[in-house]
């Protein structure tokens, strides 16, 4: 069964604006990750946040995790055309067999 669900399913913003996407999950986790997928390619790992962390930054990325609400958000600041991609959250527990969400398709309009 699918663990995570991203919201919104699709998002279009102007270049330079910030993009926020959300992920909800159902069961206990010990980490949550975000991945990016360019059209027709493999996924690229962006950032991992552990269950005892509430916020993490990496460059223009900011991830938050609220384990009480079983949700996470990914913020991309000062978006660029190259950020156009699908973004997936993935949750892991124990043996780290990840379960991926449904993805948010982000389009940056130049």
The residue ranges that bind other proteins (CB under 8 A) are 1-2, 31, 33, 35, 40-45, 48, 86, 88, 90, 92, 94-103, 105
Residues paired with residue 50 on neighbouring β-strands, in sequence order: 31
Residue 51: which of 34, 38, 36, 33 has the closest Cα?
A: 33
- Three-state secondary-structure class, residue 81: helix
Nearer to other proteins, 64 or 99 (CB): 99
110 token code pair:
């130049």
Across-strand partners of 42? none
Residue whose CB is less far from other proteins, 94 or 110: 94
Toward other proteins, which CB reaches closer, 14 or 82? 82
Residue 89 beta carbon to other proteins: minimum distance, rounded to whole angstroms: 11
Pick between residue 10 and residue 78 the one whose CB is nearest to other proteins. Answer: 10
């Amino acid at each position: 069964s699918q663990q995570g669900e991203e919201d919104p399913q699709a998002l279009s913003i102007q270049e330079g604006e910030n993009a926020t996407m959300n992920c909800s999950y159902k069961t206990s986790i010990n980490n949550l990750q975000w991945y990016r997928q360019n059209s027709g390619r493999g996924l690229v790992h962006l950032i991992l946040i552990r269950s005892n962390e509430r916020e993490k930054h990496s460059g223009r990325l900011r991830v938050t995790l609220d384990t009480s609400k079983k949700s996470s958000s990914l913020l991309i600041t000062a978006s660029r055309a190259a950020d156009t991609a699908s973004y997936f959250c993935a949750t892991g527990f124990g043996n780290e067999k990840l379960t991926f969400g449904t993805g948010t398709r982000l389009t940056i309009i130049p």
